[in-house]
Every structure is written in structure tokens, then in C-alpha cells.
Structure 1
Amino acid sequence: MTDNKKPFNEHDANRDPLSGETGSHPVGTGVGAAGAGAIGAAVGGIIGGPVGAVVGSAIGAVVGGIAGKGVAESVNPTVEDEYWRDNYATRPYVEQGHQYEDYQPAYRTGYEGYNRYASTGRSYDEVEPELQTDYEKNHGGAGLGWDKAKHAAKDAWHKVENALPGDNDQTDRTRTTAVNAVEQDAADVKLYEERLVADKHRAKTGEVAIGKHVETETARVSVPVERERVVIERVNPTGETVVAPGTVDFRDGEVAHVEVYEETPDIHKEAFVREEVRIKKEVDRDVVNAEEQIRREELDLDNTGRPNIDRRS
């Protein structure tokens, strides 16, 4: 009977140096081990003496390797990219007219940066100069400048950070794990919740231009005028009156002058203020309601046996 199984290449298994499982992230495991080695040594010092320091270093390396492996495997670039592709448009820093591809390098810088720097115990604000250098080295020639891209990078960093238990200081998480590996006397669990943060920005929606133009029309006006005319009327006297001798001057060329007048219309144009237009702006106020799904962590208590539990709030 022929065995059709493919040969297993042990070198390609990429086994976890701690658990022996395949598919581990050697970089994350190594970074975690190195970051927790000093903490383990300090824990070993608690046990006492040089032997305790050696034991503590070993514990620190084991615990740190587990922490580093957890960080590396918690950041799945495919999952993160799909999440931000679906949700980027809801973020307040995304400007109108930009597509996901404009912010994609910034998101990648954030979650890959967390994968690279979180185990050092530094917060985002402390690591931001390195992230800016990485972003500008790989994507600075095109796309968004860091002043706009940093908001998306910080968003992606905190999303991955909040997806992990504990707080944003990886050293504190590792230290707590290391101490609990020796004696599990106390543990801190932080519960997180999301809150909706309302903000607003002023955007230009349009403009109104008001000007004047001249329209021409024909106007008509009526003006009453007077005109004189000469009336010549010849009348026979009612009675015959004898003119005394010597009073009559018979001569040629006697002329009577009568002046005749008439009125002519004097029409001209004058400008008057017809109306005034006042321009001002008024602000209408409205309330915009929005809703979004938010997440909140609740405490789950799972105990075995009959431990004495004192619940305090």
C-alpha cells in the first residue's frame, strides 16, 4: 500500500521553542524573551542569592517568550486590514474625498509598529518618532503627510493594544505574569469600554454672490402744454361814427405786432433710490443624532473548589 502523504519538513514547521507547537512567530517570541529577561532576574532575586537570579532569568525568558509570542500572533495583518477597510470611513479624522488606500499605509504603520515596539514597554506617544520615521521612509514620498497619517496610525495601535489583556505598558504585563509565575498572590485585570466621542468640524457648504445688473425699458409720460394762436376777426361796426376831420391819418405800411407763445415739454431723467438690500447671515441650530455599536468588557469569574471570595466594589 502506497503512502500518499506529503513529506513533513521539520524546518518549515516553525515550531514554538516554548510549547513545541507549529506556526509560531519567532521574532515575537524572541523579543518577548529578551524584554522579560531582566524582569525574571529581578523576580529570581526575590527568591534569594545568585541561584535565585539564575532561576529568575530562566523564568523571565520563558514568560517573556510567551508574552512575545502572544503579541506577535495577536496581530494578524489580514484581519487588521479588513477591519480598517470596513470601518475607516467612520473615524473623525478621515477627510472628505479620501479613500481607504490613502490611509492604509498609516494603519499598517500602527498595527505593525505595535507588533514591533510594544514589548519594549513604551507607550504610543513614546514610540511615535520611530513610527514617523518608518512611515516616511516607506510611504512618505506619496500619500498623506504624517500630520494627517498619525491619527490613523495611533488608531490602529490602540485597537491592537486594547485587544490584548492588561494595559498599554507591555513591561507591566510581563512583570505581572512573571511574578505570578513564582507566587500567584495578586493579579490586576483591567476592564475596558468604548465610549462615543462627539466632535464637529466646520466645512464650507456653498456661497451666495449678490450683484447688480441694469435693465432698460421704455417709460412714457404725459405733459399738458399750451400753445397760443392768432385769431383774426373782422367785425362791422354797429353804428356809423363820423370821424372828426384831421384825426384820420391815411398812410401805407401801418402794421400791428402780436407776439405768439407756446409751451414745449422739458423731459429729462433723474435717479432715485428705489430700495435697499441688506445682506447678513443667521445661524440655524440643530441637533444631529448618531448611534454606533460600542464594546464593554465585563468580568467573568470562574472558580473551582470552594475559595473564600470577598467581593468588593
Structure 2
Amino acid sequence: MAYEHIEDIEDDATGPESPRQEKEINPLQAASATAMALGAAAGPGSVMAGAMVGVMAGGLASQSGRTGASTDQEAAEEVARLADEESYWRGHYADEPYVQADMSFDYYLAAYRTGMLARMHYPDRAFEDIDDTLAREYAKQRQDSTLPWESEGRAAARAAWDHMTRH
């Protein structure tokens, strides 16, 4: 069956006589969806990156008490800034002192994202003050990365944090 409007799907699922329940929009889910949509526009490999950014932002925002960007424009600006930062690190990661010569950018990516997102969600805090929170968040979000937090992970996150502070 083809549907012309989202309401048609809801009517089919609940019946036309059932009252619709208003659903509250979660800003973190909205930011994640925005990140995924922008990733989709950039190309197939970027959708997963957008999803990862949304998940990490949600975790950090819940830790900081922030609920994410308050408008679609702010969410889009945050995603664009993260994309710019990731692009910067993709081109410059090899120059960092903690980087192992035989490791790719992707090995460090989760740590960079942890640092970038933390800087956005904790603008008034010192990195050292939230180190334990960042270590926990990195452990939850790093997926298949084997990069240890205690050595290179913390250093990569700190480098991303410092770069966003300066730019």
C-alpha cells in the first residue's frame, strides 16, 4: 500500500478512529537525525559517521546536562563544525607526537570525536575536570577501536579539544 502522508501510516497502524498521541521531539535524536542526513548528503560512508556523532553527542549531552542544539540551525552548525574538525584531523593527525607511524586516521577517530564533542558540550570546563567522564564516554562509544584511552586516546581527545578551543 502506498502512503501519501505520514498521517496515513499512523491511521493504518492505529485505525482512523484512534486518537493520535502527540510525540515530544527529543533534541538529541533530532541532532542525530540531522547528522545522519548531512552525512547522507556527503556520501554513503558519512551516514555512519553522522550516526556516531549523534550517539556520542547524546551521551556527552546527558552527562553535561545540556540537551543539544536548541534549533535546527544550531544543530546543523554543530554538525558542520564537527565535519570541519574531522576534516582537519584527517589531514593533520600524522603530525601529532602520540601517533604511531603505522596507524591510520580511523584508529584515532573515536578519540578525536570524543574531544571535539566534549569541547562543544562542556565549553566552560577544563579538560582535566571531565577526564573521567570522557574516559567512560570514549569506552562506550569507541565501537571496534582498539585505541587505549590511557595512552593515545586521551592525547588525541585532548588535541581535538585544544584545537577547537583555539579555532
**What is the aligned partner in structure 2 of residue 127 from structure 1?**
130
**What is the aligned partner in structure 2 of residue 64 from structure 1?**
none
Q: Which AA in structure 1 matches 2:137?
A: D
Point out where structure 2 has 5 or more consecutive residues left out of the alignment. Answer: 1-66
Alignment equivalent of 1:83, drawn from 83, 88, 92: 88
**What is the aligned partner in structure 1 of residue 6 from structure 2?**
none
**What is the aligned partner in structure 2 of residue 154 from structure 1?**
158
5 Å-filtered alignment, 1:232-251, equals none
Change (3 A) 1:75 1:110: farther
Name the SS of the counterpart of 1:27 in structure 2: coil
Matched, 1:93 2:98: yes
Q: Which AA in structure 1 matches 2:83?
A: T
Q: Which AA in structure 2 matches 1:27?
A: G
Structure with greater proportional helix content: 2
Q: Which has the larger radius of gyration?
A: 1
| Superposition deviation, residue 142 in structure 1 | 3.4
CA distance in 2, matches of 1:102, 1:73: 23
Tell me, yes or no, if the aligned pair for 2:107 and 2:145 is still in contact at 8 Å.
no
| Superposition deviation, residue 82 in structure 1 | 0.7
**What is the aligned partner in structure 1 of residue 108 from structure 2?**
103
Matched, 1:145 2:148: yes
Percent of aligned pairs sharing the same letter: 28
Tell me, yes or no, if the aligned pair for 2:110 and 2:145 is still in contact at 8 Å.
no
Name the SS of the counterpart of 2:125 in structure 1: coil
Change (3 A) 1:141 1:82: closer
The TM-score, its normalising length taken from structure 1, stands at: 0.28
5 Å-filtered alignment, 1:226-265, equals none
| Superposition deviation, residue 136 in structure 1 | 0.4
| Superposition deviation, residue 135 in structure 1 | 0.3
5 Å-filtered alignment, 1:176-191, equals none
Point out where structure 1 has 5 or more consecutive residues left out of the alignment. Answer: 1-25, 31-68, 164-313
Change (3 A) 1:73 1:138: closer
4+ runs deviating over 3 angstroms? 72-75
The TM-score, its normalising length taken from structure 2, stands at: 0.52
Highest relative contact order (Cα 8 Å, sep 6+), 1 or 2? Answer: 2
Tell me, yes or no, if the aligned pair for 2:112 and 2:156 is still in contact at 8 Å.
yes
Give the length in aligned residue pairs: 97
CA distance in 2, matches of 1:142, 1:78: 20
**What is the aligned partner in structure 2 of residue 195 from structure 1?**
none
Change (3 A) 1:28 1:161: farther
5 Å-filtered alignment, 1:20-39, equals 27-29=68-70
CA distance in 2, matches of 1:100, 1:142: 11
| Superposition deviation, residue 91 in structure 1 | 0.7
| Superposition deviation, residue 28 in structure 1 | 3.7
